[in-house]
Structure 1
Amino acid sequence: MYNASARPMGIGRLLDRSFQLYRKHFVVLTFIMLILYGPYYLLQHLLTFQETAATSGSFIEQLRNGGSLQDMFGPNSSFLQSDPTLHDKGYIGKLLILVLVLTPILILGLMPASIASVVHLVKANFYGEETPGLGQLLKKSFSRFWPLAGSTFLFGLIMFGFYFGMAIIAIIFVFIFAVGGSFSSSVGGFGGGAVAFGIVFFVIIGLGALFTFAYFMIRWSYYLPYVALGEESIGIGRSWGLSRKSFWRLFGMYVVLTLILYLFLAVVQLVIAATLGVGLGAQLLQSLISILVMSLWFLPYVVSFFDLRVRNEGLGLQSLIDHTIPDASANDLPIDLDKKNEL
């Protein structure tokens, strides 16, 4: 069935369409996120809630008491001082469990599976099909678990290698600048103009590195829907071709989305911490709010994937043709067999 949404979309329409799908399928999306992320957040908070409360409790207490910025962030503030309990063996063991066990489960298992579920939901909406139920969506996503985990692991290795290479280049620039600055200082002094130039230079280098990393990350990141749909085993190369000439539009979409969601979550978490404190209950409530809006992080990504396919692969074109120019059999038009044979 032809779907009117199968046409190219701008940033505003991508986000609007994502929020529409979020409202329409809120219950299904929420249950998917709760099933996948609920146990993870529960284990995380059971491991680290005491340390989290210790590091942020003083800040919340000063906020409640109307403390000044100097009290909160000054050199003598307890918020910035290290808590001795964070260096005991128990905390180190919890940290190792979090980093070596829970984080890989999150990155290689939960995130790909949840995004795959959203892919199948949006696909059904795109084609005008009946929306799969909760069990069907989870079954479809986990049926491709190992390809999803493997391709995500490969993507992570590529991005880590790219990040490591950029870090080395940045260190080389810093070293060259430091040596050059020392030489200039010994010869003729290192004035305020040179300091200002150095600050501007490193700001430009930092922004350039950020945009470069974001460019390659966005260009390669659309591998996962291909793998979830069973069209590719890895899909990173196909993602590169799919996202051509669309970086700035996608980058703008992610910037707007990040500003909206981070501002909302920051305000909500600050209100919860100011009213309920930083105990386990308050931390679980904050995680629950994060789970409720988590699908809003994934929907624009998936919607933009189908939009890119419409733009670059002609997805939906055949449906549009069938919808606009129905064939003879669809309209039950009589056909003279003798005339057909003459043709």
Structure 2
Amino acid sequence: MQNASARPMGIGRLLDRSFQLYRKHFIVLTFIMLILYGPFYLLQHLLTFQETAVTSGSFIEQIRNGGSLQDMFGPNSTFLQNDPALRDEGYVWKMLVFVLVLVPIMFLGLMPASIASVVHLVKASFDGKETPSLGQLLKKSFTRFWPMAGSTFLFGLIMFGFYFGIALIMIVFAVIFAVGGSFSSSVGGFGGGALAFTIVFFAILGLGALFTFAYFMIRWSYYLPYVALGEESIGLGRSWSLSRKSFWRLFGMYIVLSIILYLFLAVVQLVIAAIFGLGLGAQLLQSLISILVMSLWFLPYVVSFFDQRVRNEGLGLESMIDSTISDASTPYLPIDLDKKNEL
């Protein structure tokens, strides 16, 4: 694997190598995700399955029963009338527990640990070493738990700041256009050309905001493997340097990966909901499918991390040099010419 991995890869090879690793280590990866995320999803569904079933159940039931569009989306549809906050007095505290307890556990604990386990698995494959066992991978994933949690918190805080700033800019422009539109209407009317310009402007502004957010997120997102491997305590600066020439390739990879996985999960979840409804069992089955494919979200990220190190940091070159030095240091054994002639 080492020689094959020590070459820079394009989008196709990154995804292909990720799917190869997924098939090869499917059992280990599945058990890791089940151990880490299984209890989380179980608690989540036990906490919120009634609200999820009621808010979405009427829509699925209408599909299963052949309901019309008027039944599904009309003013009297149960899909629009069912409000968990009005039905259940405990809805607010359930959401507070979910947001303040489960979500931090997910993003500061489970996600860094699961990615770290994938990092160590891919690194062993890259180095041509024996694949660590399930217990070894879980142990390694929690060895750097607090640095990973701290750097993930810092990364999330920075990205939230970007998100808040972008949202604030959007609000400012919306207010400016709203005031300008009201003024134009009062003095001479708001023409169709101005309306079309407003729509196009906000479409471009929205796309620009999404692209800006994606740019900084990708550039800083490769901090975690450095921290998991013990090479950095935070790793954000290292990630920025690592991805400086790879943004478009990484952006394209994530777009293709998202389309593939979201379409697959959407189809599977619709089939499960249409057949089994939206009870607790069906929701747990949907979560099980999500867990089975969860490592496919992480593998391209980790494989692209090592690929960028090959491109920008010469990863793999050191082992090649060591191999060359080892070959050069092999003692020269002179050949006895008399024995050679006898042969």
Structures share a fold, TM > 0.5? yes
Task: Tell me how far apart the structure 1 counterparts of residues 244 and 230 of structure 2 sit (CA, whole Å).
Answer: 22
Counterpart check, 1:288 vs 2:288: yes
Q: Tell me the SS of whatever aligns to 1:132.
A: coil
Could you tell me whether the CA contact under 8 Å between 1:8 and 1:311 is conserved in 2? yes
Q: Give SS of 1:80's match.
A: helix
Distance 2:60 2:180 in 1: 45
Residue of structure 2 in register with 1:340 after alignment:
none
Give the C-alpha shift of residue 175 in structure 1: 1.6
1:23-102 to structure 2, matched below 5 A, reads 23-83=23-83, 86=86, 88-102=88-102
Q: For 1:242, give the aligned amino acid.
A: L
Deviation at residue 116 of structure 1 after TM alignment: 0.2
Give 1:96 deviation, angstroms: 1.1
Where 1:231 maps in the other structure, the secondary structure is coil
1:208-287 aligned at under 5 Å gives the runs: 208-287=208-287
Aligned position for 2:332: 333
Counterpart amino acid of 1:141?
S
Amino acid at match of 1:119: V
Q: Is the 8 A contact 2:51 2:84 kept in 1?
A: no
TM-score normalised by length of structure 2: 0.93
| Structure 2 gap segments, 5+ residues each | 335-343
- Determine the C-alpha separation between the residues in 2 that align with 1:80 and 1:311: 52
Alignment of 1:113-262 (within 5 A): 113-262=113-262
Between the aligned partners of 1:216 and 1:84, the Cα distance in structure 2 is 36
Quote the Cα distance in structure 2 between the aligned partners of 1:85 and 1:165.
Answer: 30
- SS of the residue corresponding to residue 47 of structure 1 reads helix
Secondary structure of the equivalent of 2:151? helix
Q: 2:109–2:145: 8 Å Cα contact kept in structure 1?
A: yes
Aligned-pair CA distance for 1:322 = 4.4
> Quick one: distance in 1 between partners of 2:179 and 2:83?
38
Conserved 8 A contact 1:120-1:137 = yes
Asked if the contact 2:273/2:282 (under 8 Å) is kept, the reply is yes
Count matched residues.
Answer: 334
State TM-score, norm by structure 1: 0.93
Matching of residue 19 in structure 1 with residue 7 in structure 2: no
Distance 1:178 1:286 in 2: 43
Greater mean alpha carbon deviation, residues 138-147 or residues 183-192: 183-192
AA aligned to 2:155 is F
Corresponding residue number in structure 2 for 1:339: none
Secondary structure in 1 aligned to 2:80? coil
Per-residue deviation at 1:86?
Answer: 4.9
Q: Which moved more, 1:212-221 or 1:82-91?
A: 82-91
Contact between 2:121 and 2:131, CA under 8 Å: does it hold in 1? yes
SS in 1 for 2:81: coil
Partner Cα separation in structure 1 for residue 298 and residue 69 of structure 2: 36
TM-superposed deviation, 1:50: 1.0
212-221 vs 165-174, greater mean Cα deviation: 165-174
- Contact 1:2–1:323 (CA<8 Å) still a contact in 2? no
- Root mean square deviation, CA, Å: 1.6
Is the contact made by 1:51 and 1:86 (CA closer than 8 Å) also made in structure 2? no
- Cα distance in 2 for partners of 1:19, 1:285 equals 23
Return the letter of the residue paired with 1:172.
V
Contact in 1 for aligned 2:84/2:91 (Cα 8 Å):
no
For 2:311, the aligned partner's letter is R
User: Within 1, Cα distance between the matches of 2:126 and 2:198?
Assistant: 51
Q: CA deviation at 1:85?
A: 5.7
CA distance in 1 between counterparts of 2:84 and 2:10 reads: 51
- Residue type of the alignment partner of 2:174: V
Sequence identity, in percent?
Answer: 84
| Deviations, residues 169-226 of structure 1 (Å, cap 9, x unaligned) | 1111112222222232233321111101100000000000000000000000000000
Give CA deviations for 1:26-58 in whole Å, capped at 9, x if unaligned. 000000000000000000111111111111111
Give the residue type in structure 2 aligned to 1:250: L
**Residues 2 and 125, structure 2, Cα contact 8 Å, conserved in 1:** no
CA deviations on 1:4-41 (whole Å, 9 max, x unpaired) are 21111000100000000000000000000000000000
Structure 1 residue runs of 5 or longer lacking an equivalent are 336-343
CA–CA separation in structure 1 for the residues paired with 2:318 and 2:164: 44
